[in-house]
Amino acid sequence: MAKKTFTFDDLNAELATLNPLGSIMATSGFSEVTEWIDSGNWHLNACISGSLFKGWPNNRSCSIAGPSGTGKTFLMLNTVREAINRGYMVIYYDSEAAVDRDLMQKFDIDVNKVNYQPVNTVQEFRTSVTSITKKMQDAKRAGAEIPKIMIILDSAGNLATQKEIDDAASGSDKADMTRSKVLKSIFRIIMTPMADLKIPFLFTNHTYQSQSFIPQQIAGGGTGPEYAASIVMMLNKAQLKDGAEKVGIIVTAKPAKNRFAKPTPIKFHLDFSKGMNRFVGLEQYATWEICGITRGIIDPKTKIKTPKATAKTWICEHLDEAVPNKEFFTDKVFNQQVLERIEKYIQPIFNYNSSSEDGFDIDDVMDQDED
C-alpha cells in the first residue's frame, strides 16, 4: 500500500493545533491594522501613518521620545481624547504622577472611560499588563466579546526597578544594571498579546545626548523599547514667542523609526493657552496648485482674485472669498475637499514607494557611500 503524502494542508492542520494565533497568510489578520487613531493634528497624522486621515495604528507599540518639555504628555492626552471618541477605554499608567483628573478634563477627555494606574517600577507595570492581557485573551478564546482598549505608559523612562528601591533603602549607591534587561523583557512578553487583542500601546520616553564623537539624541531604557516599537518619534522644541513673551513651543517631530511612512520630519505648535490646533502644519501646502488656497485679495465688486504674497487674507477657491489670518487654521478653510487635495499631494512625500516600474540604476546603487 502506497504511503500517504504528507501535504502542506496536513502541516497547516498540525500548526493550527500548536498555535491558535497562526494561519495561512492569505487569511491572516493578526498583524493587520484595522483602525487608526487620530493624533489630534492632520500633519502629525501624515508623519506617523502616511495619511492625514489615519494616525496611530491600533495593534502596534509606538514611542514618543524627547527631552523634558517637548509636549510628550500633551500628545498622549490628545490621543487619549481621540481614542475615546472612537470607542476605546484607556488604561493610563503614570510613572511621573504628572496627570490628574483636572488636566484630563482640560483636554475634553471623558474621565469615566480612563482607568488611571500610578506605577513605580518596571516589575509592577509588567505584572499588571501581562495579567490584564492574559485575562482578555482567555475571554476571547472562550468566545466573549472584549472591549476596545488602549494602553498608555507615561513614561517608560521614569520607571524604577525593585533593585533600585531596595538599594536606596539599604543605603547602597551601586548602579542598577538590570533595568534595560527588565524593560526588554516587558516588550518581549506583551507585544504578541497586544497585537492579538488589537490594543494600541503608546509610551513616552526620556532622551539624553550620547557621549560619542558626534552627539546623538538617544532614548532611555536600552534597546528593548526601540526594537519593539513600530514607530519611534523623537521630539525637539524651540520657543514660540509673541514679541518678547513666550506663548508656547514649536515642536519638531522626527521619526527615528517608522514601519508605516517615510521618516519625514515635521513641525507643529503647542500654544500654552490654546493647545494644539489640528490644522497647523498644513499652511505649507496652501498653494493654488495644490489645494486652491493662496495669499491674496478679492475685489468685493468685481470678484477678481489677485494673489499677493504680503496680503493678510487668503483666497479660497472653494469659498470664493478671502479669509482673514485669524480664520485660516479652521475647518472653514481646510474642509474635507481641501484635505483630500492635500492628501493626494503628500502621498509621495510620506509614503514608501512600492512600485518598481522605474527600476534601479546599478551605477547609482554602487556609487552610494556605506551608511
DSSP helix/strand/coil, 274? coil
Q: State the number of CA atoms in the 13 A half-sphere of 102 facing the CB.
A: 1
Q: Please tell us whether the domain made up of 32-280 is placed in CATH 3.30.70.270.
A: no
pLDDT score, position 169: 83
Q: What are the structural domain ranges in the chain? A: 32-280, 284-350
Q: What is the pLDDT of residue 2?
A: 59
Counting Cβ atoms within 10 Å, is residue 333 exposed (0-12), middle (13-18) or buried (19+)? Answer: buried
Share of the chain above pLDDT 70, in %: 89
Residue 39: phi and psi, rounded to 5, are -85, -15
For 147-203, the pLDDT digits (tens) are 999 999 998 988 888 888 888 788 887 777 777 788 888 888 888 999 999 999 999
The grid coordinates listed for 259 are 514601519
Q: Report yes or no on whether pTM surpasses 0.85.
A: yes
Is 259 a residue whose pLDDT tops 70?
yes
pLDDT of residue 198: 96
Mean pLDDT of 224-249: 86
Helix axis angle for 42-49 and 336-350, nearest 10°, is 30
pLDDT tens digits, one per residue of 304-351: 899 999 999 999 999 988 999 999 999 999 999 999 999 999 999 999
Question: Residues 71-129: pLDDT tens digits?
Answer: 999 999 999 999 999 999 999 999 999 999 999 999 999 999 999 999 999 999 999 99
Distance CA 343, CA 171 (A): 58
pLDDT at 371 over 50: no
Q: Report pLDDT digits (tens) over 348-357.
A: 999 987 554 5
